[in-house]
Each structure stands twice: as C-alpha cells, then as structure tokens.
C-alpha cells in the first residue's frame, strides 16, 4: 500500500525552493514516483517537475532557477497507468487573475459528478487527477480574490483534501472539514511553513506552531497568517492508518507522535493476545515500534531474526525460483543460528494480501524456527480506502474474503491474532471519535462513489457512474 502524496510550502524565505526541496526529501515516503516545486518571486512564477524521487528530479542548477521567496512542493505516488508527467503536481495555470498553482493530498469522492458538471460548462480536463478539478472550480469562481473563491468552491468538493495553493504573493493551506489528511504549520524565523508531517519541519530547523484545523483555510502573505473557517465542522475523521503505517515515526500528525502511538498499539496487542515465545521479531522497519511495545508489556525479549539488505536496486539476475519469493528474500535474510529450534512472535503492522507474510514465514521455518506466531497491530483490513490511500480492491484484501483461521493456514503460522478495533482506538492518544476507521469497519464517514478508480477520474472496472452499479 502506498500513500498518494506529501505537501510542503514556505512563505517569506530567500531560499524558499531549496527549503522546499529539503521538506520534500523528508516526505519522500509519501510518494516516490513524481515530484515538483513551483516558486514565486512576487512577479514571476517558476516551476520544475518530473518523474522520479526528489534527489533524482532536483539538483543545484534546477533549484537555482526556482527563484523567489515563496514556494510549494509535492511528492506523488500513483497506480500504474496514471503515472505520467502530466499528472505530476503542483498543477500550475495562468488565467485572467494571474498564476495559480495547487498541490493536493487526498482523494475527492465526488469527482465524477464534478468532472461531468465542469465539462458541461466547457472546461477541458487535461489529466486524470481529481486535483485538477479544484483548479477548474477556482478559475470559474466569481469571487473577488482567491480566498473568497476557495470559500465559494470548497463546499462543492467531497472527500479528503489537504491542499496548498500558491499565487504570485500568497501561500494558502486548506484541510477538508473531516481532516482526513494531516497538514501542519511551522515557523522558521519570520517565514511560515506548511507541511504534511512535522519531520519536514525538523529537517529544516522550523518550529511546529499548530495544525491547520479541519475545515480551516490559512492564508499567508505580507500581512502574516490569516485564518478562515467557512465550514460547519461536525465530526472529524483523521486517517488512523497514518498512525499505523504511513507517517514517519519521528513525525507528529494530528498533534500526536507516531512512534509513541505505534508503541502503544504494540502494548495493547500484548495485553489482548498474549502468547509464550522465546523472542519477538519485528519485521523491519514496519513492525518495529509495535514490537517494542509488545516486548515491554509481555517481558519477552526482542531479537532481529531477519536482516534487511539496505542496498536494493534492480537486479537483472534472478534465480529460477518464484520471482516474488526471490524479491522478499533479497530484502530480508533470516539468521539461522538465532532461529533454530526457537518459538518466535512476528509483529506485523498490517496484512494486505498475505502473500509477503507467507513467504517470510516459510523462510523462518526453513531457517529452523520451531513455532511461528503472528500478531498484527491493527484489525483485519476488510474494505478499500476512498480517501487517498492506494488500497487493493476488496477482492485482493485477504481479510475481506477469509476468516482469521483461513488466513492463519494460508500464511502458515501456528497462531494469528489481530488487534481489535476497540483496543486500537483505545491505544490512540486522541478521542476515538476523531478517527476514520472505514478500512477496518466499513463505516465510511461520508458517502463515497465506490465506482471510482481511487484518486483518478477513470471509472472503475465495473464501469458504473454516479454510484450506480
């Protein structure tokens, strides 16, 4: 599974594009396929975007060309097929009121309806990204300025959106009324910074000020930071999966620390599903923090029974064995002398298709492990995400179609237990009402057009539109 996007923006710094580059570098885990920066000198707009990681796409000379005191940047992941340069962000257009650039993290859930409406009104949609629709709506807005335009158009948009908007002389940050995706505000001297996660602030030495609140528009200009709250915010739906899997452990998101939360999930797992074993084995890096919590609560030591190869590029030499099997083995190698004859608990942060876990367990057994138990620091994933995480379809999610006992047999472990929804919510450092848990519970915070090929304007395989079919 992949996150779709990461955002970084800065206002009022002579090295705006360089700092944006560093901010994106810290947020690389949120999208590795394309990235871009748009900057403004107040008079002129500059942009550079390309396919590839931040260090592939930018170098000293490209950054030098991105002049100005104000810039926004975006890292993006996409599914195959829509992974093209024209879909890379930020999107930039020039229209009668000047230039405007936009960067989006999230996924709109009414994009087919919006696209139909815009096309009926004469808009020509250039990409397959729902983010482009926001730009078209902004261009068509009749309000006097960009802030008022946002207030006018945002009620038409449904779903998840953390947005950065850049004009010649203003940086704007927006979070949808549910607050699905994170967005925080920092300060670096007199400059304001907006970022998806606080790890980006840390890298450039900026101080965390606060989160952009759900349903809030913050605009930053020579007048400082101004806040508008045009929505009636009734409930929140912070993506709980940001804590479980996506965000960096050194980040604070939704005001709480990811590392500490993952440890608490591991503690809750140890209390809910104890099991006797010689040691606990995190799968690096994903299950490491929950494993620490499990170990502390259960008093069972941790051993690194599988070692990660940090130098994984592409190899053209492949043995004749199953390719997937080989790909897992090239990343993680079990330590036979440690595992032989031992009872082991593997801590996973989630199980998606179960195929990778199955191969790892096979490798542990071949290395001599006597018993292999698996504990998962979240509940079974039973439903896709429509709010900006690239989940497989329900068909591919193993827990959507199989019982825990069937999954246990498939993976080949001696026991398999998941953290319950109640314990997961109890381990959070925020009230349980704050979260979206739809991929575990099917309780979507708002109605979604499930026919959408998530995060794109392509209609899904079943060809349904407007929620029918």
Query: Cβ of residue 348: shortest distance to ligand SF4, in angstroms?
Result: 16
By CB under 6 A, name the one of 39, 437, 455, 456 that touches ligand SF4.
437
Of all helices (H) and strands (E), which one includes residue 60? Answer: helix 60-65
Show the site string, 125-164: x = touches ligand SF4 by CB under 6 A, - = not.
----------------------------------------
Residue 289 binds ligand SF4, judged by CB under 6 A: no
The 3-state DSSP class for residue 154 equals helix
Dist. CA 341–CA 303, nearest whole Å? 14
Q: Considering the rule CB under 6 A, would residue 63 count as an interface residue with ligand SF4? A: no
109 binds ligand SF4 (CB under 6 A): no
Asked if residue 282 lies in contact with residue 269, where contact means CB atoms within 8 angstroms, the answer is: no
Omega cis (within 30) before 285: yes
Interacting stretch for ligand SF4, rule CB under 6 A, among 125-133, 274-282, 346-354, 433-441? Answer: 433-441
Q: How far is the CB of 190 from ligand SF4 (least distance, A)?
A: 35
Quick one: which of 439, 448, 452, 457 contacts ligand SF4 (CB under 6 A)?
439
Distances (CA, A) of 271 to 258, 296, 433: 20, 11, 23
Give how many residues touch ligand SF4 by CB under 6 A. Answer: 11
Q: Contact with ligand SF4 (CB under 6 A): which of 180, 192, 294, 410?
A: 180
Stretch of 220-228, 257-265, 279-287, 430-438 lying at the interface with ligand SF4 (CB under 6 A): 430-438
Q: Which residues contact 150 (CB under 8 A, 6 or more apart)?
A: 138, 165, 172, 174, 217
Our CB check for ligand SF4 shows the closer of 21 and 246 to be 246
Strand partners, 374: 346, 416
Position 91 contacts ligand SF4 (CB under 6 A)? no
- Comparing CB distances to ligand SF4, the nearer of 293 and 388 is 388
Known catalytic residues are 5
Interface positions, 218-247, toward ligand SF4 (CB under 6 A)? 239-241
Shortest distance in whole angstroms from residue 76 CB to ligand SF4 = 17
What's the min distance (Å) between Cβ of 397 and ligand SF4?
A: 11
The sign of the CA dihedral 154, 160, 164, 167 is negative
Nearer to ligand SF4, 146 or 436 (CB): 436
According to the binding rule CB under 6 A, does residue 193 interact with ligand SF4?
no
- The nearest distance, CB 394 to ligand SF4, in angstroms, is 12
Q: How far is the CB of 298 from ligand SF4 (least distance, A)?
A: 27
Retrieve residue 360's tokens.
């790892």
Candidate residues 346, 438, 448, 457; the one interacting with ligand SF4 per rule CB under 6 A: 438
Size of the chain in residues: 469
Per the CB < 8 A criterion, the answer to whether 19 and 76 are in contact is no
Q: Which residues, 6 or more positions from 82, have their beta carbon under 8 angstroms from its beta carbon? A: 128, 129, 456, 458
Least distance CB 208 / ligand SF4 (angstroms): 23
Q: According to the binding rule CB under 6 A, does residue 77 interact with ligand SF4? A: no
70-76 vs 224-228, strand pairing mode: unpaired
Task: CB nearer to ligand SF4: give 20 or 251.
Answer: 251
Q: What sections of 354-466 are H helices per DSSP?
A: 355-366, 398-401, 404-411, 421-427, 438-441
* DSSP conformation letters of 270-335: HHHS----SEEEE-TTTTHHHHHHHHHHHT--B---EEE-S-----S---SS-HHHHHHHHHEEE-
Measured CA distances, 59 to 7, 49, 77, 159, 315 (Å): 19, 12, 21, 35, 26
| CB nearer to ligand SF4: pick between 198 and 247 | 247
369 or 385: whose CB is closer to ligand SF4? 385
Angle at 352 between CA 303 and CA 287, to 5 degrees: 20
Determine the Cα–Cα distance for residues 309 and 38; give it in Å rounded to an integer.
36
DSSP conformation letters of 77-95: ---TTS--GGG-SSEEEEE
- Nearest Cα neighbor of 328 from 354, 298, 295 is 354
The residue assigned the tokens 């001696």 is 414
Decide: is 424 part of the binding site for ligand SF4 (CB under 6 A): no
Q: State the Rg of the chain over Cα.
A: 23
The nearer residue to ligand SF4, 270 or 438, going by C-beta atoms, is 438
70 binds ligand SF4, rule: CB under 6 A: no
In angstroms, give the least distance from the CB of 424 to ligand SF4: 10
Question: Of residues 376-395, which lie at the interface with ligand SF4 (CB under 6 A)?
Answer: 385, 387, 389
Taking CB atoms, the residue at the shortest distance from ligand SF4 is 385
- Closer residue to ligand SF4, CB minimum distance, 389 or 397: 389
| Residue 42 and residue 69 in contact, taking contact as beta carbons nearer than 8 Å | yes
**What's the token pair of residue 172?**
């704007």
Cβ closest to ligand SF4, residue 357 vs residue 437: 437
Least distance (Å) from ligand SF4 to the CB of residue 436? 3
Residues contributing to the site for ligand SF4 (CB under 6 A):
180, 239-241, 385, 387, 389, 436-439
């Amino acid at each position: 599974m992949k996150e779709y996007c990461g955002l970084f923006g800065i206002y009022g710094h002579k090295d705006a594009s360089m700092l944006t580059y560093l901010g994106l570098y810290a947020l690389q885990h949120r999208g590795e396929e394309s990235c871009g920066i748009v900057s403004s000198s107040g008079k002129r707009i500059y942009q550079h975007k390309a396919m590839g990681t931040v260090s592939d796409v930018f170098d000293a000379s490209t950054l030098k060309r991105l002049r100005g005191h104000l810039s926004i940047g975006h890292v993006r992941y996409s599914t195959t097929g829509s992974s093209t340069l024209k879909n890379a962000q930020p999107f930039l257009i020039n229209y009668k009121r000047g230039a405007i650039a936009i960067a989006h993290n999230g996924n709109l859930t009414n994009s087919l309806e919006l696209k139909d409406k815009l096309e009926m009104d004469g808009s020509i949609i250039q990409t397959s990204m729902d983010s482009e629709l926001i730009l078209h709506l902004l261009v068509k807005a009749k309000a006097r300025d960009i802030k008022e335009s946002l207030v006018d158009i945002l009620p038409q948009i449904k779903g998840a959106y953390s947005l950065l908007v850049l004009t010649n002389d203003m940086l704007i940050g927006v979070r949808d009324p549910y607050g699905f995706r994170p967005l925080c505000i920092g300060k670096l001297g007199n400059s304001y910074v907006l970022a998806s996660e606080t790890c980006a602030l840390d890298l450039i030495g900026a101080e965390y000020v606060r989160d952009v609140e759900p349903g809030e528009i913050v605009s930053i200009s020579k007048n400082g930071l101004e806040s508008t709250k045009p929505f009636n915010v009734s409930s929140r739906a912070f993506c709980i999966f940001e804590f479980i899997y996506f965000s960096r452990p050194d980040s604070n998101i939704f005001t709480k620390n990811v590392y500490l939360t993952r440890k608490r999930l591991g503690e809750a797992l140890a209390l809910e599903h104890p099991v006797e074993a010689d040691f606990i084995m995190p799968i690096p890096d994903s299950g490491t923090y929950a494993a620490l919590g499990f170990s502390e609560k259960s008093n069972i030591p941790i051993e690194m029974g599988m070692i990660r190869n940090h130098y994984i590029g592409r190899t053209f030499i492949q043995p004749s064995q199953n390719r997937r099997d080989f790909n897992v083995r090239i990343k993680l190698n079990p330590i036979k002398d440690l595992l032989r004859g031992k009872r082991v608990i593997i801590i996973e942060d989630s199980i998606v298709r179960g195929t990778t876990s199955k191969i790892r367990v096979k490798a542990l057994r071949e290395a001599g492990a006597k018993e292999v138990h698996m504990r998962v620091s979240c509940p079974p994933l039973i439903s896709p995400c429509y709010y900006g995480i690239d989940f497989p379809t329900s068909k591919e999610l193993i827990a959507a179609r199989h019982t825990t006992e069937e999954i246990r047999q498939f993976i080949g472990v001696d026991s398999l237990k998941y953290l319950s929804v109640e314990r997961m919510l109890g381990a959070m450092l925020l009230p349980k009402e704050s979260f979206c848990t739809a991929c575990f519970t099917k309780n979507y915070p708002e109605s979604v057009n499930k026919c959408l090929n998530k995060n794109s304007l392509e209609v899904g395989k079943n060809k349904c539109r407007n929620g029918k079919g």
